[in-house]
A and B are shown apart, each in its own frame.
Chain A
Amino acid sequence: MTASQVIFYIISAFILSTGLLAVTSRKIFRSAIWLLFSLIGIAGLFFWMQLDFIAAVQIIVYVGGIVVLIIFSIFLTQQAGNEMAKPVRSKVFFAALVVSLGFILTYTFIYKYNFLPIGHQPLNVNVSNIGIQLLSTTEHGYILPFEVASILLLAAMIACIVIAMKNPSATDKAGREKKPPHIKEETAEIINV
């Protein structure tokens, strides 16, 4: 086994084990951190394939953007130290059964299929090549999806602001925000005392 193979298997084991922990850990904050490690492992896999640009984009967008967003929303919506409720045992059993059967079926098809490379020269992934083809208007250019993606990002930005804006019914007439039910009970107790 060469060093490259050893590195590949280490990265793969890292991705799969941290991914598995991310979907099974019962503390939501730990689950987010395992997801972070899994995404870093995927960026490492892209580095191993010598696609530096994609690996950099992966780290910037996923690790620096999406996971941080997820962690912030965890802090906004729940107590991070609490354990989540255990999933029902029968549901876990059937989910594991369906998932393993699906995996075996899919991988059997992949294993039996004979992949033949079409091109022969090595992949040339300069950032300049990617940029030129991304913005070219010729036959194999990607300018139309690029513009559509920019419109999509603008729409998503406006939609996030509109959806997450405080709607007037969430505040009572005095302008104070309604308290969550458990806080209400506590204040009721204090008033009773």
Chain B
Amino acid sequence: MNDIPLTHILFVSTALFFIGMYGLFTRRNMITMLMSIELMLNSVNINFVAFNKYLYPDQLNGIFFTIFIITIAAAEAAVAIAIIINFYRSHYSIDVEDSGEMKW
């Protein structure tokens, strides 16, 4: 376990973050954009856990941050999907290009 340097784990998390960012830039569909955001949040989780494991092994702070990020990501995904379904009901589309107005 300790024969892998920390920078290799950070390589994975950085690459995953930018993959998510690429998806956020190119996708026009709200659900796939939400999926990209989930990927980015997960890369941050990897970062927190890796720093906790390698640099501060006598504390548990990174693990708590990971738990809270997972909690907030679940709440965020639920609210976002409720908004998407409500948007679909009024516009019959979930494309971001169709959402020019903020009328309910």
Q: Give A residues with C-beta under 8 Å from B.
A: 2, 4-5, 8, 12, 15-16, 19-20, 22-24, 28, 31-32, 35, 38-39, 42, 45-46, 48-51, 53-54, 57-58, 61-62, 65-66, 69-70, 73-74, 76-78, 84-85, 87, 91-92, 94-96, 98-100, 102-103, 106-107, 110-111, 115-123, 125, 129-130, 133-134, 140, 142, 145, 149, 152-153, 156-157, 159-160, 163-164, 166-167, 170, 180-182
Which residues of A have CB within 8 Å of B96? none
In the assembled complex, the CB of B10 is this many whole angstroms from the nearest CB of chain A, namely 5
For the A-B complex, the count of residue pairs with Cβ-Cβ distances under 8 Å equals 224
Cβ-defined contact, B28 with A87, below 8 A: yes
> What are some 15 contacts across the A-B interface (CB < 8 A)?
A5-B3, A22-B23, A23-B20, A23-B26, A69-B81, A95-B25, A106-B14, A110-B14, A115-B54, A117-B56, A119-B58, A123-B58, A149-B71, A149-B72, A164-B85
Question: How far is B72's CA from A35's CA once the two chains are assembled, in angstroms?
Answer: 19
- Point out the residue from B14, B57, B90 that lies within 8 Å of A123, measured CB to CB: B57
Question: How far is B4's CA from A76's CA once the two chains are assembled, in angstroms?
Answer: 44
Which residues of A have CB within 8 Å of B72? 149, 152
Cβ-defined contact, B14 with A77, below 8 A: no
- Point out the residue from B14, B55, B88 that lies within 8 Å of A107, measured CB to CB: B14
Contacting residues of chain B (68-104) with chain A, CB-CB under 8 angstroms: 68, 70-79, 81-86, 88-90, 92, 94, 104
Cβ-defined contact, B68 with A149, below 8 A: yes
Which residues of B have CB within 8 Å of A31? 32, 35
Which residues of B have CB within 8 Å of A96? 22
Q: Give B residues with C-beta under 8 Å from A.
A: 1, 3-4, 6-12, 14-16, 18-23, 25-29, 31-32, 34-36, 38-39, 42, 45-46, 49-50, 52-60, 63-64, 66-68, 70-79, 81-86, 88-90, 92, 94, 104
The 10 tightest CB contacts between A and B, nearest first, are: A23-B23, A119-B58, A95-B25, A156-B75, A123-B57, A164-B82, A160-B82, A163-B82, A103-B18, A99-B22
Question: How far is B69's CA from A152's CA once the two chains are assembled, in angstroms?
Answer: 12
